[in-house]
Structure 1
Amino acid sequence: MLKKGFLKPELSINNLGKRQFWTGIIMGVVASFVLSYFFNYSRESLRSITFMGDPLILTEKEFRLYDLFFAAFSTSLGFGFTINFWLTGRNKIIKKRYLQIFTISNAWFITFVALMIVSRFGSILPITLYTIKGYDNQLDFLHTFWLLLILIPIYVFFAQWNTIRLIFRAKNWVLLSIVFFCITTFYLFETTTADREILNKNYYSVNKEYFNYIDQKFQMAKKYGIVFPASLKQVLQKEYAERTTNLVNALKNAFNKNKIVPLDTLILEEIVIHNLKITNPYSYNQFNDIDKNWPYAFPEQVYCQIQKHDVNSIETKVLFEILHEQASLFTSSKIDWNKWKTYSPYERQKSIFKQNLLYTTKTIQSRLIQVINLLRSEKKYKEYQYLLPVMRFNDKGRQKQIKINIKNGC
C-alpha cells in the first residue's frame, strides 16, 4: 500500500547538504540574536519618546513578558532566514522547482510582513498615543491583547513549516525544531535584554522632589489610619493622564459642597498643589471667567473648611498646609535662566507655573492674600501662622485686586 507523500524526499542533512544545513542554522541563530537586540533596544528608544509627556513605565514583570515575546518572535523570524538559506540554489533532490520558489517566497513574505506588523504596532503607542495629552494607557496591549504576544511567534514559526512540507517529508524534524525553538527563545530571553534602568533612573531623578513628597504624605496618612492604594500613587506620579486630571478636578469639586471634606481628600489636595497638577492641559481658555483656570480649591473655600474643624485637629493643620502650598505658587522665586543649572527641575517648573497663573487667573491671588491676612489676625490659629507667609500683591499679567466677604461666604 502506498503511503501519502511517498514521492517527496525526506528532510535530512544529507538531502539538504551538510554545509547548506549547518550554515542555515547558524544564519538563523545569528539573525535571531540581531533581531532580539534590535527589538529590545528599539523598545527603549521608542520609550524615550514618551518621556516628553507621561512616560511609559513598565513593571519588572511587564518588562520580562515583553523580553520573552521579543525572544520568541526573533527566533521564529530567524527560522525564516534558515529556511531561505536551506532552499537557496539548485538541489537535485527537489524535483518541483516551482514549489522551491514558492517556499522561499512564502518564507520571505511571512518574515517581513510579521516584522512590519510588530514594528508598526510597537511604534504607534510611543510615537502617536503617548504624545497625546490625556492618554492614559487606554490601548493596553499587554493586558488587553496579551494573547497576540503568544500567537504571533507561534503562527510565524508553524507557517514556515506548512510550505516546507510541500517539498519534504518532515517526520521528526518538526518536534526537533520545536525543542530548538524553545531553547533558543529562552537563551535569547536571558542574554539579549536591554538596560531599562537608564531611562527609569533619569526619570526618577528628575522627578525626585515630586515623588518624595507623595511618599512623605502617604506615610503621614498611615499614621491616621488612611491607606492609599498603589494605583493612586501611579496616578499622582503622572501629569497629563486622564485619571490624573480627573482626580484634580474631583478634588476641586469636593470643596464646592457645603460639607466637611474628609482628611484623605485634604491630603490629596495638598499633594496635587505641591506637585503642580492641573485639571486639563488645554484648560487655559476660560475667557469669560478666567479664574476657572485655577485647578484647586478656592482660598475662601479652604477658609470655610477651617471653620468647620476643631483648632487642634489634624484636618486644620492640613488645611493650613494647603494654603501654604497655594501661597508658594505665587511667591516662588524668579529663575535666573543664565544660571538655570543651579536650580532643581522642580524649582524651574514652579517658576514657569507661577508665570502661567499670573496670566491665566485674575482674582485668585487677591483672594488668597485676604484669606491669609484674616487667618494671621486670628489668635486661635497662632500655632499654624508660621505656615502663612506675608504676601505682597503681584500686579503682573491679568492680576486684579478685589474685595471679598470671606466670613459671610461660609
Structure 2
Amino acid sequence: MKLQNRNQLKQRLSVTKLGKTRFWLGIVLGTLSAILFYGFIFFILETVDLFKIVLNFDFLIKNVEQLRFEKLFLLALSIAFGNNTMLRFWFSKPSEYLKKSYKYTTTRIVNYSLFIEYVVLFGALSFITRFLMYMPFLDHNLFKEYGYILYLFPVYLFYIAWTEISRYVKSQQWMLKTFAFSIVLLALLSFIDISKYKIGETAYKKMHKEELIYIENETEKAKRDYNIVFSEETINILKELRTERAFDLLKKSRLAFKTDGKVSLDTIILEKILIHNFKGYYIDELHSYLYTFPFQVYEQLRKVDSKSNEATELLNIIEEFYKLSLMMVEVPEDSNNSQLYYNKLHILEFDFHSENINWNYQKMYTQSSFLVYHMQRLGIYNHHPFFNTDIPFPQPLPIPDGWIKGNFPEFKDIIN
C-alpha cells in the first residue's frame, strides 16, 4: 500500500486545481507582459539606434520584408516571454489542490522560467536582432529564404517552459491549446503598426533630410524624363553613409568613368547623386576620395551629343564638382543653414586644408576650375543653365599648355 502511494500517477492540470481567479489572471498577466516586453525591447533598440546616429554611425534603411521579419520575430519572442510569465504566476504559489504534493515544485518552476526569460531571451535578442540580421557583409536574402529557421527559437523556448511543467503534472493538452492561443495572439498583434514610432529612423531622416530629398527627386526625375527605374536596393544604398555596399557603389561608378566606352545614363545619374551628397571620408585618410575626376567626366562629354540627355547630366556633374571646389577656397554666403553644406565644408577643411593634404582634392579643384572656365569660353555648352551666364568664371590655376593641347585640342585657341 505504501509502495502504491509512493508511485501515484501525476495529477492532470485543470482550471479547478489552479483556481479560476489565478487561471484568468495568469492569462491576462501573460498577455500584458508579452505586449510590454515587446514595447520595451523595441524602444531599447530604437534608443540604441538613436545614439548610433547622433555619433554619426550608419543606419541601414530596412525594406518591407526586413521590417516584417523583425516585427514577427520580436513578437514571437515576446509571446514566449509572456508564456513564461503566465506559468510562473500559475505556479508561484501552490493552490489548494497542489499544496500537499507540490510544495517545493513551484519554486523550481519559478526559478526555471526566470532563467529562460532573463538569460536566454536577452542574449538572443541582443545578438539576432541587431548583430546578425543587419551586418552589411551578410546577404539579406539569407533571412528571406531561411528566416523560418530563426522562428524555431521562440518555439523552442515555449516548449522547454512547458516541458518543466510536464515533469510534475499532465499538461500536454494545455500546451497545445496555449500554443494555438499564442499563434492567434501573434496574428492579432502583427496588425499593430508601430512604424510611426521609429525613433532611430526618424532621427536619421531629420539629420540627412537634404540628401534624402535629393535622392528622391533625382530618382523620380530619372523615371519621369529618362524612363530609368532604380531598384529599391540601389536607392537604399544611396542613403547609406559608410557601409560596404555604399563603398562598392562608389567604386563601380568610379571605374565606369575610366573605361574607353560610353558610360550609361543611369551610372551618370548615380555619380551625380553621390557627388552632390558628398560624404568624403570612407576608408582611411589616404583613401578618402572615391569619386571620378572632372577630366574623366569631360572625356565622356566629348563622346556624346552636346544636347543629349547624357550631356545634360554630365554637365550637371561638372557643376557639382565646381560647387564642391568653391568650398575649398571660399565660404559662400548663401548656405541657408544647410546641414549638408556644413557637412561638406567640415570634410573639405580636414582633407584640403590640413597638414596631411589629400592631393586628390587638389586635383579635383584644379580640374573643375580649368574646365568651367574654358568650357564657358568655348561656347558649345552655353545652353546649359550653369554656363548660360553673363558672369565669367574666374581664371584657373595654370596647367602646362603642351599637355592641354595634346589632350584637349578644342581649348588650344582659347588658352591664355
Greater displacement, 380-389 / 214-223: 380-389
2:414 corresponds in structure 1 to none
Change (3 A) 1:221 1:186: closer
- For residues 173 and 130 of structure 2, what CA distance do their matches in structure 1 show? 40
Q: Specify which of 312, 321, 327 is matched with residue 326 of structure 1.
A: 321
Unaligned runs of 5+ in 1: 287-292, 394-399
- Say whether the 8 Å CA contact 1:252–1:296 is kept in structure 2: yes
Aligned-pair CA distance for 1:73: 1.8
Change (3 A) 1:406 1:218: farther
For 2:13, give the aligned amino acid.
L
| Offset from partner CA, 1:5-32 (integer Å, 9 cap, x none) | 9611121122233444344334323322
Q: Specify which of 31, 34, 40 is matched with residue 32 of structure 1.
A: 34
Change (3 A) 1:312 1:365: same
Aligned-pair CA distance for 1:194: 6.6
TM-score by length of 1: 0.80
Q: Specify which of 223, 229, 233 is matched with residue 227 of structure 1.
A: 229
- For residues 35 and 363 of structure 2, what CA distance do their matches in structure 1 show? 62
Q: RMSD of the TM alignment (CA)?
A: 3.4
- For residues 386 and 184 of structure 2, what CA distance do their matches in structure 1 show? 66
1:301 corresponds in structure 2 to 296
Greater displacement, 322-331 / 56-65: 56-65
1:397 corresponds in structure 2 to none
TM-score by length of 2: 0.79
Greater relative CO (CA pairs within 8 A, separation 6+): 1
1:14 corresponds in structure 2 to 16
- Say whether the 8 Å CA contact 1:36–1:192 is kept in structure 2: no
2:378 corresponds in structure 1 to 378
Find out whether 1:150 has 2:151 as its counterpart.
yes
Find out whether 1:264 has 2:259 as its counterpart.
no
Q: Specify which of 94, 104, 110 is matched with residue 104 of structure 1.
A: 110
| Offset from partner CA, 1:371-400 (integer Å, 9 cap, x none) | 22222221333323733872466xxxxxx8
Q: Secondary structure at the match of 2:382?
A: helix
Residues 15-164 of structure 1 aligned to structure 2 (within 5 Å): 15-51=17-53, 52-90=56-94, 93=98, 95=101, 99-122=105-128, 124-125=130-131, 136=136, 138=138, 140=140, 142-143=143-144, 146-164=147-165
Aligned-pair CA distance for 1:145: 5.5
- For residues 323 and 198 of structure 2, what CA distance do their matches in structure 1 show? 34
2:358 corresponds in structure 1 to 360
- For residues 261 and 180 of structure 1, what CA distance do their matches in structure 2 show? 58
For 2:305, give the aligned amino acid.
D
- For residues 240 and 214 of structure 2, what CA distance do their matches in structure 1 show? 14
Change (3 A) 1:408 1:161: same
- Say whether the 8 Å CA contact 2:325–2:365 is kept in structure 1: yes
- Say whether the 8 Å CA contact 2:137–2:244 is kept in structure 1: no
- For residues 308 and 335 of structure 1, what CA distance do their matches in structure 2 show? 34
Greater displacement, 180-189 / 322-331: 180-189
Unaligned runs of 5+ in 2: 409-416
- Say whether the 8 Å CA contact 1:100–1:167 is kept in structure 2: no
2:413 corresponds in structure 1 to none
